[in-house]
Structure 1
Amino acid sequence: MQDYYAARAHEYDRIYAKPERQSDLRRMESWLPQALAGRSVLELACGTGYWTQFYAPAARQVVALDSSPETLEIARTRVPPQVQLLTGDAYRPPQAATAFDGAFAGFWWSHIPLQRIPAFLERLHAVLQPGAKVVFMDNRFVAGSSTPLSERTPEGDTYQLRKLEDGSSHRVLKNFPTAEFLLATVEPNAAVASYHQWTYFWALEYSLK
């Protein structure tokens, strides 16, 4: 996965150019800053900083990490100077001197193997304050717009076969969870949770107990 996104870094944001998705994107760009306003936010798998640029001005503090130096290089040209960008593993979030009261990951949940989700959330929640706001955003599967699924494993994970401009092909994990699955997954740790749906995207928003 890391090699794929490193190779894709300079063409990654073209996914946001699809004409049919523009209305959704404008709504999400407006919604996200409101969800994280005034928070000290830890962003996981920030990629090129595409979403960071929209909510960071409204946040109190942002620490954003990604495992790819190539995408972080692009992010540095895009995000406000007060954003701290780090090379790091989303499965091992950093422990700050003062726990974060917000967390965000855009288009990362779909790349987590189903069996790893509980441990991933446990580690994320461990670096957050009680009452912290957590936001995930990702793709819905829409036939004719989404890359077709090429494989489903016995565990339920689904994969796409993606091609890059250099002609290389990559087998990429891409899950499309239901609202029911998402809400049930975070329910044990959420004081309140809500699911938001657009035509091509979804968002999960919850506050920690």
Structure 2
Amino acid sequence: MSDITRDMADYYRQRAAYYERVYFKPERQEDLRAMEAWLPTQFTGRRVLEVACGTGWWTPHGARDAAQWLATDLNPETLAVARRKALPACVQFAELDAYSFAQIEGQRFDAAFAGCWWSHVPLARLGGWLQALHARLEPGAQVVFLDNSHVQLSSTPISRTDADGNTYQNRTLDDGSVHEVLKNFPTAEDAIARLGPRARDAQWIAHTHYWVLAYTLA
């Protein structure tokens, strides 16, 4: 695990108890309701791997009509919050490093979902990570990513850009500690270009404060 990945995991562990405040920003409500209504339509009857579920905000929405839903995260602190939610019976949880799928060796899925994870993957690792995820998925699998768009006055300002093009934010926790978090904001063209040769029928949906990318695998 790289230093920045370790630091981000620690940041989200410390923020777990109040992470979901971000979903109560008034200006984001229209986007959130639209995505919450749309998401379950993508996974009806499917066996879904959710990567980096965090506190599970998206889990009850996405899993509503799924056959199976495995929600995974590295941090037991965030998983503890997710487990307290009212969830469909199909949902199970597992501690899982999103960069290593070894803990679910042998399991296969026909769908995958990640909410607000893409933006935290270093650009140099994104192609390899997508290949590793796709290797866990059957042909015809449905894949959905959603994440933040950078919106002036609503998003945390970008503090720096590194040599690889990754952008960063400085975020302050309730205890006053400041943490540098990798947070990328891709364009539709860049994101779709990174999906690899198995991706088919890519669809980009631009909301005001979020973007959604959905596609199937050959």
Deviation at 1:82, TM superposition (A): 3.2
1:115 and 2:124 aligned: yes
- CA deviation string 1:4-26 (max 9, x = no partner): 00000011000000000000100
Separation of aligned partners in 1, 2:131 and 2:123: 14
- CA deviation string 1:102-144 (max 9, x = no partner): 0000000000000000110111011100110000000000011
1:26 and 2:33 aligned: yes
- What residue number does 1:85 align with? 93
1:203 aligns with one of 193, 212, 215: 212
Separation of aligned partners in 2, 1:6 and 1:31: 29
Q: Secondary structure of the equivalent of 2:168?
A: strand
- Is the Cα contact below 8 Å between 1:136 and 1:204 reproduced in 2? yes
Equivalent residues in 2 for 1:4-43 (5 A)?
4-43=11-50
Equivalent residues in 2 for 1:50-89 (5 A)?
50-78=57-85, 79-89=87-97
Q: Secondary structure of the equivalent of 2:155?
A: coil
**Percent identity of equivalent pairs:** 53
1:164 aligns with one of 173, 180, 199: 173
Root mean square deviation, CA, Å: 1.1
Deviation at 1:38, TM superposition (A): 1.4
- What residue number does 2:9 align with? 2
- Is the Cα contact below 8 Å between 1:44 and 1:90 reproduced in 2? yes
Separation of aligned partners in 1, 2:73 and 2:162: 27
- What residue number does 2:5 align with? none
- Is the Cα contact below 8 Å between 2:127 and 2:195 reproduced in 1? no
- What residue number does 1:44 align with? 51
- Is the Cα contact below 8 Å between 1:158 and 1:174 reproduced in 2? yes
- Which residue identity does 1:33 align to in structure 2? P
1:134 aligns with one of 119, 143, 151: 143
Q: What are the ranges of 5 or more consecutive residues in structure 1 without an aligned counterpart?
A: none
- Is the Cα contact below 8 Å between 2:66 and 2:90 reproduced in 1? no
Separation of aligned partners in 1, 2:196 and 2:202: 7
Kindly report structure 1 stretches of 4+ aligned residues shifted beyond 6 Å: none
- Which residue identity does 1:130 align to in structure 2? P
- What residue number does 2:203 align with? 194
- Which residue identity does 1:59 align to in structure 2? A
